[in-house]
Structures are given as structure tokens and as C-alpha cells.
Amino acid sequence: MSGMKRIQSPRSMQELGLEWRRQGICVGLVPTMGYWHEGHLSLMRWAREHCDLLVASIFVNPTQFGPGEDLENYPSDIERDSALAAECGVDVLFTPYKAEMYLPGHGTWVNVPELTKNLCGRSRPGHFQGVATVVCKLFNLVQPTFAAFGEKDWQQVAVIRKMTRELDIPVRVEGRPIVREADGLAMSSRNVYLTAEERAVAPHIQKGLCLLEGMVRAGERDCGALRKAVRDYYAAWIPSGVLDYLELVDPETIETVDHVHSDFLAAVALRLGKARLIDNKRINLEK
Ligand code: AMP
């Protein structure tokens, strides 16, 4: 395929996707909500190296936003994203029309309840139902061989993996590492909501997780003590932040662990001004 193509009609996308599948072409998909940063681009560059045809999608999916969340203000710059897509070697930029993704009366949903009781599933009811449903639709429309997702949204990758496996969807799900700013803040489209003061203290979100890892590696096994130390750290260094959750969970089941295992995930969500920021750290004591 020469030159990047932009497709807005879900039906046209599906016709093309089905044709590619018939031809046995390896198609990579990177689903996004746009306003790209290096985190998105790293997924595209990685996918580019592993497929024949690369599709990136931009869709600010209304069904994954709860009441009072930032759906209306979600940042967007389609011109810039388009230019970046072309630079990354994207073959098709799929930006579906909202009205064609959800027809009036839409009432079919994908739910993965076991993995969504904790973390963001608890603080954003309905969020993962919206995510799983839209990703399932994107898989059916694009018919990719694989799709790449960022581990910044660890729970999201776990949900999509389980959905794909249990619904026999023939797509390989690839989780990719978190991309950070030089000072450690996990990149996010929502970082633009931060004021200069908030941006200056935001790197402490990750530093708190590093503190936790240091304590575990030094022998601390008491989850209560670990969480208290990080909560105290956030209270001291990000006094204007409101902690939504700080949990130690099993990386696959997303269930809270009572005792530190050899392999677990520390996950945090913190509200800072207008932004709700998430981050996580996998801590594997065998590595
Ligand atoms: P979003 O546009 O925020 O829905 O994100 C689209 C994809 O990019 C998801 O798979 C995210 O997990 C991934 N992503 C977002 N931020 C980062 C980051 N800092 N590092 C790696 N992947 C990311």
C-alpha cells in the first residue's frame, strides 16, 4: 500500500479487513483515543516492525466515559496525529464516525467482571464494559492479526487478553512497556490538563512506586506497611493530589494480594487538579 489512507466508515474498514484476512496479510492494529505522544508512537513503531500492514485507530469512545468524566474535553488534534501516523508508517488511519459505531438502540456489551472489580474497574464503573465492547468491535472491523496495547493501562490489557481468549477472537494481544517523560512521569494525553505546579510534582507518582519496590527488595513483606509508606510519601510530595487507589495486586487476576508474592503489580490512580493519572510497576523478585 502506498501512502496513508484514512477510513471513517466502519463498513469500508471491515470490507478491507476481511479482504486482508482472506489474503493472509499480517495486519497490526494500534487502537487509541488520539492526541498522540511517544507512548502511542512506541506502539506504532513496534507494530510496524511486526506486520505487513499497520492500522492505527483514533476513536474517543463515549461508552467508556462515566458521567462527569472528561469526554467533552478530551484533547484532540487529528491533523497532528495524521502527520505522526504517516511518519510512523501507518497504512490506514481508522477514525470511525461515532454515529456509525453506535447505532441508536445499541444494546450489546462485553463484560469481564472477574478482572474489573478492582483498581480502575472499581473507581470507574462501566469503564471496562465500554473498553471491552469497543475493542471487540475494532477487532471485528479491522480483522487484525495482532493488536498492541500499552502496559500503562495494565488492567485494560488483562481485560482485553481474557476477552479475546474466552470469546475465541482470532487476534493476538501484545502488551508493551510504559513510555515515560525524562523525569519519570508516565506519558498520557491527560497530562495536558496539569498546571505547571501540578506537572512539577507529578513525577512523584512513579517515585512512590519506586520507593515501594525498594522497600520490598529490602525485605518488607507487609502490604499494609508498604501502602502506608507510599501514601505518606504522596501526602508529603503531592499534597494537592487525591489518591484514588494504591493497590498491590496479582498481575493476572488483578486481585488484591495480602502478602507480597514473588511477582505482583503495584498500581496507583491519583487525581491531580483536572487530571486523573494512573501508573503501575510490576515487581518480580525473581528478576
Ligand atoms: P489512549 O489513547 O490513552 O486510549 O491509549 C492508547 C494506547 O496507548 C493504549 O494501549 C495505552 O495503554 C497506550 N499508552 C498510553 N500511554 C502510554 C504510555 N505512556 N506508554 C505506553 N503505552 C501507552
Which atom in ligand 1 lies closest to the alpha carbon of residue 152? Answer: 12
H/E segment holding residue 136? helix 127-142
**Is 224 annotated for ligand binding?**
no
Distance 120 CA to ligand 1 centre (A): 15
Is 74 annotated in a binding site? The answer is no
CATH class of segment(s) 189-281: alpha beta
| Residue the block writes with cell 479482504 | 19
Say if residue 190 carries a ligand binding annotation. yes
Rounded CA gap, 230 and 210, in Å?
A: 9
Question: For position 287, what pLDDT does the model report?
Answer: 81
Residue with CA at minimum distance from ligand 1 atom 6: 32
What pLDDT, on the 0 to 100 scale, is given for residue 2? 59
Was 193 annotated as part of a binding site?
Answer: no
Cα angle vertex 70, ends 209, 280, to 5°?
15
Which protein residue's CA is at the shortest distance from atom 13 of ligand 1?
150
Distance 34 CA to ligand 1 centre (A): 10
Q: Which of 29, 84, 93, 152 to mutate to test the pocket of ligand 1 (most atoms within 8 A of CB)?
A: 152
CA angle (254 as vertex; 165, 111 as ends), nearest 5: 50
Q: Please tell me the residue having the least CA distance from ligand 1 atom 14.
A: 150
Dump the DSSP string for 6-49.
Answer: EE--HHHHHHHHHHHHHHT--EEEEEE-SS--HHHHHHHHHHHT
**Positions marked catalytic:** 40
- Distance separating alpha carbons of residues 219 and 183, to the nearest angstrom: 27
- Predicted pLDDT at 1: 57
H/E run at residue 127 = helix 127-142
Q: How far apart (Å, rounded) are the C-alpha atoms in residues 5 and 55?
A: 10
Protein residues with CB under 6 Å of any ligand 1 atom: 32-33, 39-40, 43, 149-150, 152-153, 178-179, 186-189
Best mutation site among 55, 69, 149 for ligand 1, i.e. most ligand atoms within 8 A of its Cβ? Answer: 149
Q: How far is the CA of 224 from the centre of ligand 1 (A)?
A: 30
For the chain, the domains span 5-176, 189-281
Q: Is the pTM of this model over 0.95?
A: yes
Nearest to 134 by CA among 115, 104, 156: 156
CA of 37 to the centre of ligand 1 (A): 9
Topology annotation, domain 5-176 = Rossmann fold (3.40.50)
Please identify which residue in the block is written with the cell numbers 495480602.
Answer: 258
Cα(201) to ligand 1 centroid in Å equals 21
Ligand 1 pocket, mutate which of 32, 127, 146 (most atoms under 8 A from CB): 32
Per-residue pLDDT of the chain (287 residues; tens, 9 = 90+): 559 999 999 999 999 999 999 999 999 999 999 999 999 999 999 999 999 999 999 999 999 999 999 999 999 999 999 999 999 999 999 999 999 999 999 999 999 999 999 999 999 999 999 999 999 999 999 999 999 999 999 999 999 999 999 999 999 999 999 999 999 999 999 999 999 999 999 999 999 999 999 999 999 999 999 999 999 999 999 999 999 999 999 999 999 998 898 999 999 999 999 999 999 999 999 98
Query: How many Cβ atoms sit within 10 Å of the Cβ of residue 91?
Result: 21
Name the residue with the closest Cα to ligand 1, atom 22.
150
Asked whether this chain's domains 5-176 and 189-281 adopt the same fold, the reply is no
Find out whether 168 is annotated in a ligand binding site: no
Q: Strand pairing of 92-94 and 5-7?
A: parallel
Cα torsion for 174, 177, 180, 182, to the nearest 10°? -130
246 is written with which cell numbers? 494504591
- Which residue in 151, 153, 150 sits closest to 120, CA to CA? 153
Residue/partner pairs of 21-25 with CB below 8 Å, 24 or more apart: 21/143, 25/52, 25/53, 25/145
Q: Of all helices (H) and strands (E), which one includes residue 55?
A: strand 53-58
The answer to whether the CB of 157 falls within 8 A of the CB of 132 is: no
